[in-house]
Amino acid sequence: MNSFAAATAKTPSPLIVVISGPSGVGKDTLIERMSDLGHDHHFTVTATTRDPRPGEKEGVNHHFLEKEDFINMIARNELLEWAEVYGNYYGVPRQQVREALERGQHVLLRVDVQGARRLRQLLPEALQIFVMPPSMAVLRKRLEERGVNSEDDMLQRLDSATKEIEESDEFDYCVVNEEDHLDEAVRQVSEIFERESRREPPRKYEI
């Protein structure tokens, strides 16, 4: 077997993948589409103290907790990382990540840019992908379509998005989620997974 064939045949290593980007850019939609297409990964369900949005389900979109319960998880060191965002707490349960890696699955962590920054320090080997809007006008349209943001809240999110996009060069990869071209973004992310999972030496994690 030649060296190229050997590299191609190498068993993929499970990855921890941090998917981040501005509010409203379509991070959840991208991950859900990957699941619909049969990608074998574990999407880590984050814990949060915010109220569910219309259509969101407990244990699917988030674990919706009371603030006291969330603080208890912090005290027991059960969160890989956590933050307060727009007045609510969000965090990544540590045990979910460990168990998925042991099963040989890629682990997807969907976090805001602030969370990605902290994970870069905690897990420097984690693969980080920034999801970029095609324009600020499209991002505003997507926020409006959510129907859950006041004008002041929307302006705050758009202002934050401008600052967050400036940090995109800190990520390993940047993928533009073009309007009506979701499958193209999924294809790009899938190719990144394939390439990085066969990297030598493989990425190593301490959870």
Token representation of residue 16: 């921890």
CATH of the domain at 46: 3.40.50.300
Residue 149's pLDDT is 65
CA distance linking residue 79 with residue 45, whole number of Å? 12
Question: In this structure, is residue 207 part of a structural domain?
Answer: no
Residue 12's pLDDT is 87
Residue 148's pLDDT is 61
In order along its 207 residues, the chain shows pLDDT tens digits of: 344 444 444 688 999 999 999 989 999 899 999 999 988 899 999 999 999 988 899 998 899 999 999 999 999 999 998 988 878 999 999 999 999 999 999 999 998 898 899 999 999 999 999 999 999 999 999 988 877 668 888 888 999 999 999 999 999 999 999 999 999 999 999 999 999 999 999 999 988
Q: How many domains does the chain have?
A: 1
Residue-number span of the structural domain to which 41 is assigned: 3-197
Question: In this structure, is residue 36 part of a structural domain?
Answer: yes
3-state DSSP call for residue 122?
Answer: helix
Q: Report which secondary-structure segment, H or E, holds 110.
A: strand 106-110
HEC string for 168-199: HHHCCEEEECCCCCHHHHHHHHHHHHHHHHCC
Question: In this structure, is residue 8 part of a structural domain?
Answer: yes
Question: In this structure, is residue 203 part of a structural domain?
Answer: no
Question: In this structure, is residue 205 part of a structural domain?
Answer: no
Query: Taken in order 66, 102, 130, 134, is the CA torsion positive or negative?
Result: negative
Question: In this structure, is residue 18 part of a structural domain?
Answer: yes
CA distance linking residue 153 with residue 157, whole number of Å? 6
Residue 160's pLDDT is 93
Over the Cα atoms of the chain, what is R_g? 17
Question: In this structure, is residue 202 part of a structural domain?
Answer: no
Cis before 52 (ω within 30): no
